[in-house]
C-alpha cells in the first residue's frame, strides 16, 4: 500500500475542478483587467494627462514607454513568485499577486496628473506600473498550474485553457468599461475625471476575487511533491535541496528557451492587435476612438469563446500542431489585417481584429498545458513563469512602442506587418524543435535534487518511474 507521502494524487472531482477553474479564471480576469486597462488608457488619454506639451505621437510613445515598464518588472515577479510558489504552494502566492495588482490599479485611479504635481505624476505612474508588472509576472504561472495540477492528463489542455480566457475576459471588461464611459461622457469629462472610474472599480473586483481564491484547495500534485521532498530531507539531511531557479537553469534551460520562443508571435501579435490598433485606427485609418474600442470589444468576446475549443483540440492532436497553426496563421494574416483596418469601416475593423485574435487563441490556449508539462513539480512554477515572463520583456513590452515608432518613421503599416511576421517565424522554429508533451503525467517523472528534469525532452515519462521530487 502506498504511503501518504508517495500516493499519487487523484484528479479533482468535476465539482471541485470547476471551482478551481472558476477561482483561477476570475482572479486572472481581474489581474488582466487591471493590466489592460492601463494599456488602453495609455493609448487614449495618458499621453495628454501625464506627458503634455509633446507632439501627439511622441506623447503616445512616452505613454507606451511607461506601459512597457510594467513588462520589465514581470521577470522579477516570475523569479520571486516562482521561487516561493515552488516552496510554499500555488494558492498563497496567487492571493498575494491579486492584492498587489489590485492595490496598484486602485492607486492609479487616485493619481494626480501632470497639471497638478508636474513631473512627479509620470514618476508615480511608472512606480505603480512596475508593481502591476511584478504582480502579473507571478500571477500567470500560479493560475495555470493550479488548474493543470488538479485535473487529469486527458483533458488538461481544455481545463488549463480556461485561466487563459482571463486575458480576453480582462480585455473585454477593460475595453467595455472604457467604451461605455467614452460613449456616455464628453471628451473633456472623460479626460478630466471619467478615466479614473475603471481604475477605482478594481478595488471592488479584488474583494470578489480574494473571496473566491481563498476558498480553493492547494494543488494535490504540489502537496504530494512537498511531502516527498520533506521525507527525502529526513533521510538525506546532509544534501540540501537545490533552489528552484538553479534547477531550472541547470536542467531545463532548453525548455525555457522553447517557451520564450513560443511566446514571441503570441505576445507581439496580441499587443499589436489590441493595444497598438487603438493608435493606428484612430490616427492612420481615421476611425473614432469609440469605433476602435467597440471593434476590440467584439473581437475579445470571440477570443474568449474560442480559447477553450483550441485547448480541447490540443488534447486530441497535441499542443504543437495547434500552436504551429496559430503561429503560421498570424503571420499570414498581418497584411490582410492592416488592409482591412485601412478601409476605415467598422465591419472591416471587426473582421481584422477578430480573425487575428482567433489565430492568436490557437497559440494562447495550449500554452498553459504545454509550458506546465515541460517542468517537474518542484520547479514547475519557476520554470513556467520564467519561460513565459522573460519573453514578455522582448515581445509584449516593446511591441506597441516599436509599432508606434515604425508608424512614425515610415508612415506605413508594412514594416509593422513584417515585424509580426518575423516574430511568427521565430515561434515556428521554437515550437518546431520542441517535443510533444500532451501525454505527460504531471505527478510523474519528478526527480531527485541534482537530477535533470523531464520537460520537453522526456514528455511521456513511464508511470512506474520511481524517482521522486
How many other C-beta atoms are found inside a 10 Å radius of the C-beta of residue 184?
Answer: 10
Nearest in space to 35 (alpha carbons), one of 181, 168, 161: 168
Q: Is 374 exposed, middle or buried (0-12, 13-18, 19+ CB in 10 A)?
A: buried
Angle between helices 120-148 and 346-372 (to 10 degrees): 60
Please work out, in degrees rounded to the nearest 5, the angle formed at the alpha carbon of residue 17 by the alpha carbons of 12 and 21.
145
Judge contact between 69 and 130, C-beta under 8 A: yes
Q: What is the pLDDT of residue 161?
A: 93
How many other C-beta atoms are found inside a 10 Å radius of the C-beta of residue 109?
Answer: 17
List the pLDDT tens digit at each of the 469 positions of the chain: 333 344 444 455 555 778 888 888 887 888 788 777 877 787 678 877 887 766 566 666 666 677 677 778 888 998 899 888 888 888 888 889 888 988 988 999 999 988 888 878 888 888 898 898 898 888 888 888 888 887 677 889 999 999 999 988 988 888 788 878 888 888 889 888 998 999 998 888 888 888 877 877 777 777 777 777 676 666 655 456 667 778 888 888 899 999 999 999 999 999 899 888 888 998 888 888 888 888 988 999 999 999 999 999 999 999 999 999 999 999 999 999 999 999 999 999 999 999 999 999 999 999 999 999 988 887 888 888 888 888 888 888 788 889 989 998 999 999 999 999 999 999 999 999 998 998 887 765 444 334 444 333 444 433 333 333 3
How many other C-beta atoms are found inside a 10 Å radius of the C-beta of residue 446?
Answer: 26
Residue in the block written with cell 511533491: 225
Taking the complete model, does pTM exceed 0.95, yes or no? no
Quote the cell numbers at residue 69: 515598464
* Distances 264 to 312, 389, 394 between C-alpha atoms, Å: 23, 11, 8
DSSP, res 155:
G
Please work out, in degrees rounded to the nearest 5, the angle formed at the alpha carbon of residue 72 by the alpha carbons of 388 and 420.
60
Angle between helices 319-342 and 414-433 (to 10 degrees): 180
C-alpha span between 169 and 172 (Å, rounded)? 5
Q: What is the pLDDT of residue 37?
A: 83
Amino acid at each position: 500500500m502506498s504511503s501518504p507521502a508517495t500516493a499519487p494524487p487523484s484528479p479533482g472531482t468535476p465539482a471541485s475542478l470547476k471551482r478551481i477553474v472558476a477561482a483561477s479564471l476570475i482572479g486572472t480576469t481581474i489581474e488582466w483587467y487591471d493590466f489592460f486597462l492601463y494599456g488602453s488608457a495609455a493609448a487614449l488619454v495618458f499621453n495628454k494627462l501625464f506627458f503634455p506639451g509633446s507632439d501627439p505621437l511622441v506623447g503616445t510613445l512616452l505613454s507606451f514607454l511607461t506601459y512597457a515598464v510594467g513588462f520589465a518588472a514581470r521577470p522579477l515577479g516570475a523569479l520571486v513568485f516562482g521561487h516561493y510558489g515552488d516552496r510554499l504552494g500555488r494558492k498563497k502566492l496567487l492571493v498575494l499577486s491579486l492584492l498587489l495588482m489590485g492595490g496598484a490599479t486602485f492607486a492609479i485611479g487616485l493619481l494626480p496628473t501632470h497639471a497638478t504635481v508636474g513631473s512627479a505624476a509620470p514618476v508615480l505612474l511608472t512606480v505603480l506600473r512596475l508593481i502591476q508588472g511584478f504582480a502579473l509576472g507571478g500571477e500567470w504561472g500560479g493560475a495555470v498550474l493550479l488548474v493543470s495540477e488538479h485535473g487529469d492528463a486527458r483533458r488538461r489542455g481544455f481545463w488549463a485553457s480556461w485561466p487563459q480566457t482571463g486575458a480576453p475576459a480582462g480585455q473585454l471588461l477593460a475595453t467595455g468599461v472604457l467604451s461605455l464611459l467614452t460613449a456616455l461622457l464628453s471628451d473633456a469629462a472623460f479626460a478630466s475625471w471619467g478615466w479614473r472610474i475603471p481604475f477605482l472599480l478594481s478595488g471592488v473586483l479584488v474583494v470578489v476575487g480574494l473571496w473566491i481564491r481563498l476558498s480553493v484547495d492547494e494543488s494535490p500534485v504540489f502537496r504530494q511533491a512537498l511531502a516527498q521532498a520533506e521525507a527525502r530531507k529526513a533521510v538525506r539531511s546532509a544534501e540540501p535541496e537545490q533552489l528552484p531557479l538553479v534547477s531550472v537553469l541547470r536542467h531545463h534551460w532548453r525548455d525555457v528557451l522553447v517557451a520564450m520562443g513560443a511566446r514571441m508571435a503570441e505576445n507581439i501579435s496580441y499587443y499589436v492587435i489590441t493595444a497598438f490598433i487603438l493608435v493606428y485606427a484612430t490616427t492612420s485609418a481615421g476611425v473614432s476612438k469609440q469605433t476602435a474600442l467597440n471593434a476590440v470589444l467584439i473581437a475579445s468576446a470571440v477570443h474568449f469563446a474560442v480559447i477553450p475549443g483550441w485547448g480541447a483540440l490540443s488534447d486530441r492532436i497535441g499542443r504543437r500542431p495547434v500552436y504551429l497553426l496559430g503561429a503560421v496563421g498570424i503571420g499570414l494574416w498581418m497584411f490582410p489585417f492592416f488592409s482591412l483596418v485601412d478601409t476605415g469601416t467598422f465591419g472591416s475593423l471587426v473582421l481584422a481584429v477578430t480573425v487575428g485574435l482567433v489565430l492568436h487563441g490557437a497559440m494562447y490556449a495550449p500554452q498553459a498545458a504545454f509550458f506546465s508539462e515541460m517542468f517537474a513539480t518542484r520547479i514547475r512554477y519557476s520554470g513556467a513563469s520564467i519561460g513565459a515572463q522573460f519573453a514578455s520583456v522582448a515581445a509584449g513590452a516593446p511591441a506597441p512602442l516599436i509599432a508606434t515608432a515604425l508608424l512614425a518613421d515610415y508612415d506605413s503599416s508594412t514594416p509593422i506587418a513584417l515585424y509580426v511576421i518575423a516574430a511568427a517565424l521565430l515561434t515556428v522554429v521554437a515550437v518546431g524543435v520542441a517535443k510533444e508533451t500532451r501525454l505527460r503525467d504531471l505527478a510523474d517523472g519528478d526527480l531527485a535534487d541534482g537530477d535533470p528534469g523531464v520537460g520537453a525532452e522526456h514528455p511521456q515519462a513511464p508511470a512506474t518511474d520511481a524517482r521522486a521530487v
